[in-house]
Structure 1
Amino acid sequence: MSVIEEKPSSGRFIGVGVGPGDPELITLKALRLIQSASVVSYLANDEGGSQAKTIASEAFAGVTHAQNEIAIVMPMSTDRSLANQAYDNGAKTIADELKQGKDVVFLCEGDPLFFGSFAYLLERLEGDFPCQVVPGVSSINAASSALNHPLTVLKESFAVVSGRHSALQIDTALEQHDSVVIMKAGRARPRILMALRKTNRMQDAKYLEYIGRDNERIVQDVSTLEDKAGPYFSLFVVTKSERGTR
């Protein structure tokens, strides 16, 4: 009698948000999935360093079984073709594990679907494999907490833009919305400071770097901020200086 071998069911591709930097902001669900995963994946630099893996280091300390890792090396370049090639290669390696019935947990800083690298892998894999997302604390929420300041209240409007947007887009957001968070300030910091001056919102703005990490920096008065490029992990929070109480 011949024995028919059943093919293992496909594993799940799970995007897990690990928050902006403070390891204690990792959710219980994320912790459980990281510790139980057969395979863990993350973005890494050329030297193998990974911000997301570092944030989740305490979770790895509780792993009691052999766990494979897939480091997707992301070149530090503005050339999107190089990034897309890295995502293509990473998705292929992840797919090989999923086909064997193994769950692959991808660690993503902040929230996986908010400016998250997970989104680029998701679009490559979701048509062929079951996918799941575990939300994480975004840098926006962490910034608000670090400042002890609400992002928006009552009928205030709220917008999120990127330092990669044009000067006109940033100016328009600052002019039309009560509260604005400008992500990915980094190289765009001089342009953002110029926009704040132009729209008379310097007094409304706060600046943060590396939120929740040992090297966290908060600048309450952005007029004192160096008018030069800053680190990638930085943002501006702009809210109304005076707010109603009703």
Structure 2
Amino acid sequence: MTGKLHGLGVGPGDPELLTLKAHRILTSAPVIAYPAPDSGGSFARAIVSGFLRPEQTEIPIIVPMRTERFPAAEVYDKAAAEIAAHLDAGRDVAVLCEGDPFFYGSFMYLFERLGRRYPTEIVPGVSSIMASAAALGRPLAARNDVLTVIPGPLPDGEMEVLIGGAGAVAIMKVGRHFARIRALIERLGLLDAAGYCERVSLAEERVVPLAAVPGDTAPYFSTILIYKGAEAWIHALPAGKTDNAS
């Protein structure tokens, strides 16, 4: 009998958004793996740090934080081999993933390597998009609205086509692309329909209309939500809130 592989969605940052099932598995698994940058701590681990036990074995998966491409396959090959050794020894392994494991989650790369070889369970987590809509105080979409999720690194041309065909839009991974994306949204006449959500569910959460955001940069953990669908009651943007008073 081998151990079981668990992909745990740990949500956008607030530990209280961890599901009961994820908490049960997290606190009982003998081995915990998680992505970590090559400098600084792991955000996924930080979310659940209050629930970890000293006797649990930890496997940090070091993923270089670079704008240029790096040999990601080698990173996940190495991590998969280390995790497989524990599974072969009969030990369950819980892999932490910010947000949801199968929604732009890093766990999918380990699932590709291990999911067909070992018993595997995926525990969904609260996506940052859902948490952002809740923080903004405006529904994502309604009735027959088409919700389109757009990665921030996409070029303007592709992004414009996607926005044009959607009733509601969520733009993720904004970060260093913020100035370009905001300029595109303004050019499309949608600035007043866009909300900006930064570090949602964390103590330093910042949620404001996009038009009110100063500067040309944004952290990686930021999302822009746009509504241009048919429901008039969704269009109004709340005044916004900011917990870091910036």
Partners of 1:19 and 1:110 within 8 A in 2 = yes
Partners of 2:97 and 2:107 within 8 A in 1 = yes
Partners of 1:204 and 1:241 within 8 A in 2 = no
> Percent identity over the alignment?
41
Report deviation, 1:127.
Answer: 2.6
* TM-score (normalised: structure 2): 0.89
One-letter identity of the residue aligned with 2:91: K
1:14 to 6, 12, 30: 6
Report deviation, 1:48.
Answer: 5.3
Report deviation, 1:170.
Answer: 1.1
Partners of 1:189 and 1:227 within 8 A in 2 = no
> Which piece of structure 1 moves more, 97-106 or 167-176?
167-176
1:31 to 23, 44, 54: 23
How many residues align structurally?
Answer: 233
Matched residue, 2:143:
154
Matched residue, 2:47:
55
Q: Aligned partners of 1:106, 1:216: CA distance in 2, in Å?
A: 26
How does 1:103-182 map onto structure 2 within 5 Å?
103-182=92-171
Unaligned runs of 5+ in 2: 234-246
After the TM superposition, which parts of structure 1 deviate over 6 Å for at least 4 consecutive aligned residues? none
Matched residue, 2:183:
194
Q: Aligned partners of 1:101, 1:81: CA distance in 2, in Å?
A: 33
SS at match of 2:162: helix
Unaligned runs of 5+ in 1: 1-8
Q: Aligned partners of 1:34, 1:55: CA distance in 2, in Å?
A: 12
* TM-score (normalised: structure 1): 0.89
Report deviation, 1:46.
Answer: 2.3
- Cα root mean square deviation, aligned: 1.7
One-letter identity of the residue aligned with 1:203: D
Is 1:228 paired with 2:216? yes
Change (3 A) 1:79 1:138: same
Matched residue, 2:34:
42
One-letter identity of the residue aligned with 2:88: K
Q: Aligned partners of 1:128, 1:15: CA distance in 2, in Å?
A: 14
Kindly name which structure, 1 or 2, has the bigger radius of gyration based on alpha carbons. Answer: 1
One-letter identity of the residue aligned with 1:67: Q
Q: Deviations over 1:198-224 (max 9, x none)?
A: 21110110111111011111122x223
> Which piece of structure 1 moves more, 77-86 or 229-238?
77-86
SS at match of 1:81: coil
SS at match of 2:71: helix
Q: Aligned partners of 2:63, 2:92: CA distance in 1, in Å?
A: 22
Matched residue, 1:185:
174
Report deviation, 1:91.
Answer: 1.0
Report deviation, 1:225.
Answer: 2.2
Report deviation, 1:16.
Answer: 0.3
Q: Aligned partners of 1:231, 1:120: CA distance in 2, in Å?
A: 24
